[in-house]
Amino acid sequence: MYYSLYIIAASVAVFVAEVFAAKPMMALFAFTPSAALAMPWTLVTSVFMHGGLDHIFFNMFALIMFGPLLEQKLGSKRFLALYIAAGIVGNIGYWIYAYTLGNPAVPGIGASGAIYGALGALAVLEPNLTVFAYPFFIPLPLWMAAIGWIFFEFIFLGSADLVGRAAHLGGIFLGIAYAYFLKRKADAAAYWE
């Protein structure tokens, strides 16, 4: 069974709990940059929280579409490590943004940084995979869609739409870096065989 499916199940379970206990869950598990040092667990727990049905739907839709494929390429343990690491790095990106241009008292939640990390890694490992990229839904190779998503996130960084664009960027850059590391490692091993 794919770890990505367990992540979806955990995210849905947390979302159901949020419906019944939103305030205490936000207080204890959302990543708030101004409280990050006092509550370091929120770097991870916030990745499993979502702000509404549309938020969880689109994140889990992306995870079900790309997670199992990336998990086949990396193996389940590496996939899980990348997912969690990209979520953490995404939150660190949000922390940097909040202290430089935003408001460090505004909490951030969602799996988007982790999802973008998976997309970044897959764009390196399967660059010619055809995807129908939002917002235009035209077929593109994944590498081109990833560049478009990065550009889009930079363009709208700082907009008032409450989207954690800095978290998206942190996640995708970690995913890209990790996949390049794996490719170089494999190339080096092949060279010495």
How much is the pLDDT for 191?
59
How much is the pLDDT for 158?
73
Structure tokens at 6: 């367990």
Segment 122-140 shows an average pLDDT of: 90
Instruction: Spot the catalytic one: 4, 11, 50, 168.
Output: 168
Structure tokens at 104: 């460090």
Asked whether residue 148 carries a pLDDT value surpassing 80, the answer given is yes
Asked whether residue 35 carries a pLDDT value surpassing 80, the answer given is yes
Asked whether residue 15 carries a pLDDT value surpassing 70, the answer given is yes
Q: How confident is the model at residue 101 (pLDDT cuts 50, 70, 90)?
A: confident
Segment 117-143 shows an average pLDDT of: 92
How much is the pLDDT for 1?
80
Mean pLDDT of the chain: 93
Q: How confident is the model at residue 190 (pLDDT cuts 50, 70, 90)?
A: low
Asked whether residue 161 carries a pLDDT value surpassing 80, the answer given is no
Q: Indicate the DSSP class of residue 110.
A: -
Segment 126-151 shows an average pLDDT of: 91
Respond yes or no: is residue 168 known to be catalytic.
Answer: yes
Q: How confident is the model at residue 157 (pLDDT cuts 50, 70, 90)?
A: confident
Respond yes or no: is residue 112 known to be catalytic.
Answer: yes
Instruction: Spot the catalytic one: 4, 11, 46, 112.
Output: 112
Q: Indicate the range of 2-6, 11-15, 162-166 predicted with least confidence.
A: 162-166
Asked whether residue 134 carries a pLDDT value surpassing 80, the answer given is no
How much is the pLDDT for 81?
98
Cα angle 177, 93, 110 (rounded to 5 degrees) comes to 100
Domains of the chain: 3-191 (1.20.1540.10)
Q: How confident is the model at residue 162 (pLDDT cuts 50, 70, 90)?
A: low
- Burial string for 157-189 (b: 16+ CB within 10 Å, else e) reads eeeeeebbbbbbbbbbbbbbebbeebeeeeeee
Taking CA atoms, 151 is separated from 20, 146, 172, 179, in Å, by 37, 9, 12, 20
